[in-house]
Every structure is written in structure tokens, then in C-alpha cells.
Amino acid sequence: GSIMDAVLTSYPGANCTQNEVAQGVCTGPRNTIDRTGGTPTLSPDWKFTLRTEYWMPVFDDYKATFNAVVLFSDGYLYAFDELFVMKPHEDLNLSAQFSTMDDKWGISVWGRHILEPLPTHQREFDYDTEFETINLSQSQFMTYGISLNYSF
């Protein structure tokens, strides 16, 4: 896990968002602002990951392996305009594999981002009233599959 205290140490001349332009807080040339000392995007204050793996022999030459990864994360901004934020969330990855003891070959089933954490659209920061978000995309799409592995 990690605990972060991320700060923009130097970011003069950053582009302003539509809200900042409308509020008249852009003090630099061509609608720019000094973001020095501000919070960077995509930077949660804390994030912890728990990982476990268990394997057991099956017959004499094979093994079964199970793997799980659980993530806990604080919320963070997607962009400076604050339209989309990721609130505190959890996620889960799972896999199961059947293989030879020497991992010469194996077959596995897996699922990633099973809990699918979703960003939140904050309409109060949406300055463009002509734009409407109908379907908000997911930050981490759930994926799953089967993998065949062979080592030469």
C-alpha cells in the first residue's frame, strides 16, 4: 500500500478550464493559470493492494493455482475541470490455472476489474450546457477470458 501527498511543485502557464474562464480567475496570458501547489489529477491520497496466491498439487505432475488481488483506493480527480471524479472504491481480480509442475504449459481462466469502479459525473461543474452525458463510460472495464500458455 501507499500513502501519497502529491502536490504540483511547479505548473505555471497551465490551461484554464471552462469554469475558470467563466469565473474570471485566469490571470495568465491566453487564459492560463498557475497551478503550482495544487493537487495533480489521477493521484489518490492512499491506495492499498492485497494479493494472495495459493497452489496445490494435482496428481503427480500437475498443479492448480488460485490468485486474487483486491484494491482499495481513495478518490481522485480525472482532470482539472472536476467534471469526472473517481470516488473511493474497491476492485477485484481473480484467476485460476491448471498447469504442469514445471509450468511448461497451462490453461487459466481469469477476470479483471470485476467490481468495475465507475467515475462520477459532477454536473455542477459542467459549464457547457449543450453537452449531455448520456452513457458514462467505465473507468476500468470488467474483462474476462481463458489463456493457454506454453513455454518453449
Query: 41-55, pLDDT tens digit by residue?
Result: 989 999 999 999 999
Answer yes or no: is pLDDT of 56 > 50: yes
Q: Which three cell numbers stand for residue 109?
A: 481462466
Bridge partners of 152, per DSSP, are none
* Residue 9: pLDDT over 80: yes
- Measured CA to CA in angstroms, residue 139 lies from 72, 105, 117, 121 at distances of 15, 33, 6, 12
Q: What burial letters (b/e) apply to 3-20, b meaning 16+ CB within 10 Å?
A: eeeeebeeeeebebbebb
d(CA 99, CA 41) in angstroms, rounded, equals 41
pLDDT band at 134 (very low <50, low <70, confident <90, very high): very low
Residue 23 has pLDDT above 50, yes or no: yes
Would you state the pLDDT for residue 132? 53
* Proportion of the chain above pLDDT 70, given as a percent: 89
Looking at every residue in the chain, the average pLDDT score rounds to 88
What pLDDT is recorded for position 137? 53
pLDDT at 131: 54
Rounded-to-integer distance, Cα 85 and Cα 43, Å? 11
Is pLDDT above 60 for 61? yes
Do residues 114 and 92 lie in contact, with contact meaning Cβ atoms separated by under 8 Å?
yes
Render pLDDT for 89-108 as a digit per residue (tens, 0 to 9): 999 999 999 999 999 999 99
More confident residue, 7 or 130: 7
